Structure 1
Amino acid sequence: MADSLEVIPLGGLGEFGMNSTALRCNGDIIVLDAGVAFPTHELGVDFVVPDLTFLKENQDQVRGILLTHGHEDHAGGIPYVIPELPVPVYASRLTQALVSEKLKEHELLERTDLRLLEARDTLRFGAFEIEPLHMTHSFPDAFCFAITTPAGTIIWTGDFKFDQTPIDRRLSDVARLSEYGEDGVLALFSDSTNSESRGLCPSEFSVYEPLRNLFLRARRKIVVSCFASSLSRVQVILDLARERGRKVAPIGRSMVSYLRAAFEIGYLQMPSDLLISLNDVRSLPPEEVVILATGSQGEPMSALSRLAINEVKNVEIEEGDMVILSARIIPGNEKLISNMINHFYRRGAQVYDSDHSQVHVSGHGYREDLKLMMNLVKPRFFVPIHGEFKQLKTHYLLALDQGIPAENARIIENGDILELTPTSLQVTGKLTASRRFIEEGVAEEVHDLVLRDRRYLSEDGLLVIVLRMDRLEGDLIGEPELIPRGFVDESAESLMESIKEEVVRVVRETNPEEKRDEELFKEIIRKEIKRFLRKQTGKRPVILPVTLVI
């Protein structure tokens, strides 16, 4: 139909992360966001990204990828998309800087057509006219998109809240949203993350005083962890460190690179001598140091997890240190975070997290923010986006409470083809919304976890490592038992003996506290033996450590 718009979510609906949606109108396609999701560590992969089959099959129609902002769940998939879909990528200045850092890591920067997008610019792609509007979020350079098509204008909010005191003093573009509302909006696609939370979302500025009070109380080192791309929060931490005469040592690859990139383009304000390297930490008194780390979700081998067990060179957690987890707990990570916190307490540190202290506020609007958005743009149709199904349903019901007729609101899921016309919205078809599993360091992307396991098992095999551990001492009892399947046969005695020796070495060099954390201990064994076998044989068998505590 000539005056219709198709909206096809490829990821991000019914789940958190992996946000990406295709819009198609009159033979033109634009893609909104290209995010990743972070699977639980048991899956053995680092990232999950949407399948690109639909976009590759229609590549001649794809005009570009537009990024709402630079958080991983919206922009982190770009390095995995560009090799297969080499189209222009449009982003704000800060988002562009962070994406560039990612592309450099993957040696793709020179191959990527990155284009700058400014608020209130107008882009035209065939049937589409797009105006990005500034929105407040925990990322200081976030966009909402007003997209005009022959079918009408839609508002795609991206991640937002109506913060009246943002750290950078740049307010959401309420005036322009209101103008679109007066002119007539066909449909609103709105962030549902906090649709269950009553009231207005607190301002990012509201964390200043609680964090300042903690900084005032701290007598020794302060360790603060947040997401590296939450640069508004990073600015607060930098401000408080400067105020208290402390130097800041960033740790974690993304934290170091993002701080550098944001500072270079003026999005982080700090004295040039505020940051120090980890090598400088030992030369300063502990009361003059802040460690700014990634790993707030307790990921094994992350910067914060390694700090918790004193596995970071030049930094030791000691009695009286303060640890602040300035990030929300992502569902599914509770056990990992709890284990990590226990390690900090064993070393005498005091830990403050968002469950017990006001050290974090959300970047996503609460119910009053969501109602304000609806009343500003006055849409004919409403579609909740960005959230698990319960958040989508709660947001849908909120829209009905605000007077949107039930027949004009629709919950859609990944793969649905939603057709919008000036007078109707309906799901007219369904794509297979599959996903790809990414393991860093592996050239190929894994389109299905079962296929990944089959390929690894058929090509490189499986190695089970059985360890009998003394419950009290944490020592290895006897020698490791190795069970290879499809990797080498047991007659390869020389290699098997070398593997056993390497396992014994790793166990011996692992400290008792790491051994008590079963998941961390297994991850250390898996990582070290995987590295050893790749160097010795060139193969990547699935490594399965099994511990028997006796």
Structure 2
Amino acid sequence: MTPSSSDLVFLPLGGTGEIGMNMNLYGHDGQWLMVDCGVTFPKPGRVSADGTRHYSGEPETQMPDPAFIEARKDQLAGLIITHAHEDHVGAVPYLWHKLRCPIYCTRFTAEVLKKKLAEHGLLHQVKIIIPETGERLHIGPFDVQWLALTHSIPDPNALMIRTPVGNVFHTGDWKLDPDPVVGHGYKEETYRQLAEEGVLAMVCDSTNATVNGHSFSEGALYDGLRKYIEGAKGRVIVTCFGSNIARLVTLSQIGDDTGRYMGLYGRSMVNMYNCAKRAGVWPYNAGTVETSHLGYLPRHEVLAVATGSQGEPRTALRRLAAGTHPDFDLDPGDRVIFSARAIPGNEEAIEGLIKQLQARGVEVITADDVDIPIHASGHPAQEELETLYKWVQPEIAIPVHGEEEHMRAHAGLAKGCGVPRTMTGRNGDIFMLSPVPGIQRQKVQTGRLGYEKGGLVKVV
């Protein structure tokens, strides 16, 4: 299908009806605009006693099959990456040769993307355009503006996609964080002005639509993390998502305030830290030390921040738990703090890792064990969703980035906020926004590709 000048179409190829693997298309006046191009990871099959996951032969890296737009790549005006999480940017190096279009993203995301492209020998083949937050650019028939929101990674942006037949507000991943620690904040007036202009549809994150209240702010975590770091007798190892630069900055400040030296363990975490420095979002007063030095320090002076919060194999925390890390061994009385919550499907792997740590005499503290927050979600809970709907006042709500349960709750909440119409579907559905709103169910074939042995394969 080719959208006409009177058509405005939303077509998700990944990330609607599931969490992860985001790939969205907007169609208007003979062209398509892609928003995000991410990966996912297969749910674990067998989990061994120590929590190690086994994937039953499936490729460990999976992504949406872009066959629909690959067959129409001469109509693809561009690809926008809303932020630098793997489920939004991770598939670009694997799929760019099928798309071959300009890529638009802001500073920090561009640094992460450049690193990925360089690893695949593509850096100098891909045209990357870096807009400023607030800037408007014409991409084919689409007038796109980047709008500041907050999330658990620097420089996330929502998009206002304007066309002569209607405007779409695409949130990406977001929360309303009054103190995001690093990166830009947001302004209420920005979103109230969208309502004054008129928003035909709001395509919005559903991840925490079943969660009451308001998400914690990154700025509210200092006290809890300091309490459990300062109270430890031996080494402290904090595990969190490496992309959460704000969390690393908070931990660096706590290290300074408690007389501990912070080192970063894990390739992905170090890469994100370096990208933050290159993008100018890492504060100059936030320090780290060479990890090779930590093994020589008194235990009460060590603050290690490690990858592995989801129980993943081959991560730094896994190696520490197994006693195979080259820098130091964990001793009884050391403390591991999980400053993260389990992604659904990872519970068994995390539980196995915790048991492995406890068998070494290590004290383990999780976000569920404490009475003061040590972790904050990057996604909006119900109060935040209600607030944004009241600001933006779209004519249509389209829940995405969630499983059926999340999207159904999201749709009900939008109706409760006075949104006249909700449209809930899944990957492969064509959401007709103009001239007449409606959904054509399963009009486009979707699927997954996996990356293994240097190539792409279809995943059944």
Q: What SS does the aligned partner of 1:292 have?
A: strand
Q: Contact 2:235/2:303 (CA < 8 Å) preserved in 1?
A: yes
1:446 aligns with 2:457: yes
Whether 1:301 and 2:304 are equivalent positions in the alignment is no
Task: State the distance in 2 between where 1:433 and 1:30 align.
Answer: 17
1:401 deviates by 1.3
Over 3 Å counting, the alpha-carbon distance change for 1:375 and 1:325 in structure 2 is same
Q: Residues 416 and 431 of structure 1 are in contact (CA less than 8 Å); yes or no, is this contact kept in structure 2?
A: yes
Q: How does 1:419-434 map to 2 (within 5 A)?
A: 419-421=432-434, 423-427=436-440, 430-434=443-447
Q: 1:115 aligns with which of 117, 122, 129?
A: 129
1:359 correspondence with 2:374: yes
Do 2:182 and 2:282's aligned partners in 1 also have CA atoms closer than 8 Å? no
Question: What displacement does 1:105 show?
Answer: 2.1
- Identify if the C-alpha distance between structure 1 residues 428 and 388 changes in structure 2 by more than 3 Å, giving closer, same or farther: closer
CA contact 1:8–1:417 (8 Å) conserved in 2: yes
- Kept in 2, the 8 Å contact 1:153–1:186? The answer is yes
- Which letter does structure 2 place at the counterpart of 1:444? G
- Cα distance per residue 1:181-234 (max 9 Å; x no partner): 011110111111111111121211111110011121022211111111121212
Note if contact 1:13-1:385 (Cα within 8 Å) is conserved in structure 2: yes
- Residue of structure 2 equivalent to 1:326: 339
Paired residue for 1:12? 15
Displacement, 1:6?
1.2
Which string of whole-angstrom CA distances, capped at 9 and with x for unpartnered residues, describes residues 320-364 of structure 1? 111011112011111111111111111111111122233211111
How much does 1:423 deviate? Answer: 4.9
Please state how far the C-alpha of 1:84 moved relative to its aligned partner: 2.3
Q: Give distance in 2, aligned partners of 1:134 and 1:356.
A: 34
Question: 8 Å contact 2:65–2:447 — kept in the other structure?
Answer: yes
Runs of 4+ aligned structure 1 residues displaced above 4 Å come to none
| Contact 2:155-2:183 at 8 Å conserved across structures | no
Residue 393 of structure 1 corresponds to: 408
- 1:270 offset after TM fit, Å? 4.5
Deviation at 1:311, TM superposition (A): 0.9
Partner of 2:24: 21
Match of 1:417 among 404, 410, 430: 430
Alignment of 1:181-220 (within 5 A): 181-220=195-234
- Aligned partner of 2:51 in structure 1 is none
Assess, with a 3 A threshold, how the Cα gap between structure 1 residues 264 and 288 changes in structure 2: closer, same or farther.
Answer: farther
Deviations 1:496-548 (A, max 9, x none): xxxxxxxxxxxxxxxxxxxxxxxxxxxxxxxxxxxxxxxxxxxxxxxxxxxxx
Distance, in Å, in 1 between the alignment partners of 2:216 and 2:339 is 15
* Partner of residue 93, structure 1: 107
**2:90 maps to 1:79:** no
TM-superposed CA distance for 1:102, in Å, is 1.7
Is residue 2:327 matched to residue 1:314?
Answer: yes
C-alpha displacement at 1:73, in angstroms? Answer: 1.0
Kindly indicate whether the alpha-carbon contact (under 8 Å) linking 1:297 and 1:333 is maintained by their aligned counterparts in 2. Answer: yes
Give 1:429 deviation, angstroms.
Answer: 5.6
1:31 aligns with 2:34: yes
Mapped pair 1:137 → 2:151: yes
Give yes or no for the alignment of 1:171 onto 2:185.
yes
State the structure with bigger RCO (CA 8 A, min sep 6), 1 or 2: 2
CA deviations 1:388-418 (Å, max 9, x no partner) are 110000000111112223xx21101001111
Secondary structure (helix, strand or coil) at the match of 1:132 reads strand
> SS of 2:251's equivalent?
helix
Structure-2 separation of matches of 1:38 and 1:70: 16
What are the within-5 Å matches in structure 2 for residues 252-263 of structure 1? 252-263=266-277
Deviation per CA, 1:372-391, whole angstroms, max 9, x where unpaired? Answer: 11111111111111111100
CA distance in 2, matches of 1:331, 1:166: 25
Q: Does 1:56 align with 2:70?
A: yes
Contact map agreement 1:239 1:270 (CA 8 A) in 2:
no
> Which position in structure 1 is the counterpart of 2:141?
127
The alpha-carbon deviation at position 271 of structure 1 amounts to 4.3
**Residue in structure 2 matched with residue 276 of structure 1 by the alignment:** 289
Q: Unpaired segments of 5 or more residues in structure 2?
A: 45-53
Cα distance in 2 for residues equivalent to 1:101 and 1:175: 35
User: Aligned AA for 2:391?
Assistant: L
TM-score of the pair, normalised by structure 2: 0.93
The alignment partner of 1:250 has SS state of: strand
8 Å CA contact 2:8, 2:435 repeated in 1: no
Please name the residue that 1:157 is paired with.
Answer: 171
1:520 paired residue number: none
Please tell me whether the aligned partners of residues 49 and 436 of structure 1 are also in contact (alpha carbons under 8 angstroms): yes
Distance in 2 of aligned mates of 1:220 and 1:75: 38
2:353 to 330, 336, 340: 340
User: Which AA in structure 2 matches 1:390?
Assistant: E
Q: Is the 8 A contact 2:183 2:281 kept in 1?
A: no
> How far apart are the structure 1 equivalents of 2:65 and 2:227?
46
- Name 1:481's counterpart in structure 2: none
1:250, 1:429 → 2: CA distance?
Answer: 45
Structure with greater helix percent: 1
For 1:246, the aligned partner's letter is R
- On the 8 A contact 2:182/2:245 being kept in 1, the answer is no
Question: Sequence identity, in percent?
Answer: 35
Output the TM-score relative to the length of structure 1: 0.78
Is the Cα contact below 8 Å between 1:133 and 1:173 reproduced in 2? no
Q: The residue matched to 2:180 in structure 1 has which SS?
A: coil
Q: Over aligned residue pairs, what C-alpha RMSD do you find?
A: 1.6
Distance (Å, rounded) in 1 between the aligned partners of 2:204 and 2:410: 9
Paired position in structure 1 for 2:391? 376
Distance 1:343 1:303 in 2: 14
Distance 2:367 2:62 in 1: 26
Q: Highest CA radius of gyration, 1 or 2?
A: 1
Aligned partner of 1:65 in structure 2 is: 79
Amino acid at match of 1:346: A
Query: Quick one: distance in 2 between partners of 1:162 and 1:12?
Result: 22
- The answer to whether the 8 A contact 2:429-2:439 is kept is no
Matched positions, count = 444
